[in-house]
Amino acid sequence: MGARDVELRGEDGAAVTARLDSPPGRPVASAVRVGCFACLGASPAPSRLAHALVARGFAVLSLDFTAPAASGVRPDTVPAVEAVVAAAAWLRERYPPARLLVGHSLGGTAAAAALPRLPEVAALALVNAPVGAAPVHERLPPAALEAGEGTLDFGPGRLRLTRRFLQAIDEAHLRRALSAFPGEVLALHAPEDRYVPLEHARRWVALARRPASLMLLEGADHFLSHDADAGYAADVLGAWAARQVTPVREREAPLPPGVVEVHEAGEGRFAQDIRVGAHRLRSDEPLSVGGEDTGPTPYGLLTAALGACTAMTLRLYAARKGWPLAHVHVRLSHQKVHAKACAECEAKDGRMDRLQRTVRLEGPLTDAQRAALVAIADRCPVHRTLASDVDVHTDVEQ
């Protein structure tokens, strides 16, 4: 995934820096992602949401209003709604028009407020977003509430909100924007969100002109602080966006069977973007060796291939025999061992690779059936490839 900073300017001349993440080759669509305004902690949500879209061919221009000033209070010098409009205009001139807006918390509210000015947008995804400024007003000090603007203590950071922004996200304005919006709406919301109640997600769905989707992020907090929660939200967003936003005629043609393409992602030292058929994957190295840990390692992918092939082979064999195999679970690990530790190996010097595979077979199988299935695991195609001599030939493309 390629990444670079982009400077935007709104209609009033105010500047804001955005981040552009793009896939290898021509993007199939573009998206504007508006981050959570007060997520000043190390939340994995921004990168996870962007990666999920880039992996499906989207160019993603991200607006994050999270950089604190020296005092810890972020001055609201850039009107957020204007920034969303400016981001879409920048994409319109250089990439496929922005078909998708994604907003987290007040970023989602700002994205929704910008809809009337962005006719090219076909879908809106909201993550723990409030409908209107009511959750903000509830937390403003009395003096700030009377003034119509002020500083808000919100989770890990403090946020300066101006009267202009609070007026732009007025609920009446949002109601008009959603009722006129002909596109798709997805509301992702954590039921335990302590800042924005679940009722707001239901109201987004009710405001939508067309039937909208609501997905609960069980166990997550407002900021999606945990990687598992951010990853789940990203997976849902990516699958939904690919189906709802990208027209079939614009989707990148899948690679021929047996062909895989790998491109440097441009993020960190090791990250790679991978295309297999119509699918996109990411490989990286862990933080401990200088990677960004944005995907499994190459050896992790290799080991996963053996596990997947093993389970598929056992399932096919049991089905052919008519055996009551209910579920297959394969657990694998990879390590380097001394060749002397391998009784079956011809070479006894140096180190070698060992793939340890443990298979769990569930269902009312007989002992003989279990033994036969364990034996057949060694006959899965990937196992046989790994155990054979493999000829790797390298050409240099001119």
pLDDT digits (tens, 9 = 90+) for 66-122: 644 333 434 344 568 888 999 999 999 888 899 999 999 889 999 999 999 999 999
| Helical segments of the chain, H only | 45-54, 80-94, 106-114, 134-137, 142-147, 163-168, 171-180, 199-207, 227-244, 298-321, 367-377, 381-386
SS3 call for 233 = helix
Greater confidence (351 vs 386) lies with 386
The stretch 19-37 carries a mean pLDDT of: 87
pLDDT at 41 over 60: no
Radius of gyration of the CA atoms of the chain, in A: 25
Where residue 249 falls among pLDDT bands split at 50, 70, 90?
Answer: very low
Residue 90 burial (CB count, 10 A): 20
The stretch 5-13 carries a mean pLDDT of: 72
Where residue 28 falls among pLDDT bands split at 50, 70, 90?
Answer: confident
Lowest mean pLDDT segment, chosen from 61-65, 153-157, 194-198, 272-276: 153-157
The stretch 322-337 carries a mean pLDDT of: 92
The stretch 317-325 carries a mean pLDDT of: 95
pLDDT at 280 over 60: yes
The stretch 380-398 carries a mean pLDDT of: 89
In percent, the amount of the chain with pLDDT more than 90 equals 48
The answer to whether 330 and 358 have CB atoms below 8 angstroms apart is yes
Q: What is the pLDDT of residues 205-226, one digit of tens each?
A: 999 988 899 999 999 999 898 9
Q: What is the pLDDT of residues 358-380, one digit of tens each?
A: 999 999 999 999 999 999 999 99
Distance CA 215, CA 16 (A): 31
Average pLDDT along the chain: 83
The answer to whether 177 and 116 have CB atoms below 8 angstroms apart is yes
Domains of the chain: 3-250 (3.40.50.1820), 298-387 (3.30.300.20)
pLDDT at 247 over 60: no
Pairing of strands 2-9, 327-338: unpaired
Distance CA 60, CA 332 (A): 35
Distance CA 167, CA 147 (A): 12
pLDDT computed for residue 272 by the predictor: 86
In percent, the amount of the chain with pLDDT more than 70 equals 79
pLDDT computed for residue 340 by the predictor: 57
The stretch 229-236 carries a mean pLDDT of: 94
Q: Which phi and psi (to 5°) does residue 183 adopt? A: -90, -170
Cα torsion 18, 99, 21, 68: sign: positive
Q: How far lies 335's CA from each of 69, 130, 279, 299, in Å?
A: 47, 48, 28, 10
pLDDT at 5 over 90: no
- The contacts found for 1-6 with CB under 8 angstroms, 24 or more apart, are 1/51, 1/54, 1/55, 1/265, 1/266, 1/267, 1/271, 1/273, 1/282, 2/265, 2/266, 3/266, 3/267, 6/61, 6/90
pLDDT at 338 over 80: no
Q: What is the pLDDT of residues 159-187, one digit of tens each?
A: 666 667 777 788 888 999 999 999 999 99
Where residue 389 falls among pLDDT bands split at 50, 70, 90?
Answer: confident
SS3 content of the chain, % helix, strand, coil (to 5): 35, 25, 40
pLDDT computed for residue 248 by the predictor: 42
pLDDT computed for residue 72 by the predictor: 40
pLDDT computed for residue 36 by the predictor: 83
Where residue 304 falls among pLDDT bands split at 50, 70, 90?
Answer: very high
Where residue 291 falls among pLDDT bands split at 50, 70, 90?
Answer: confident
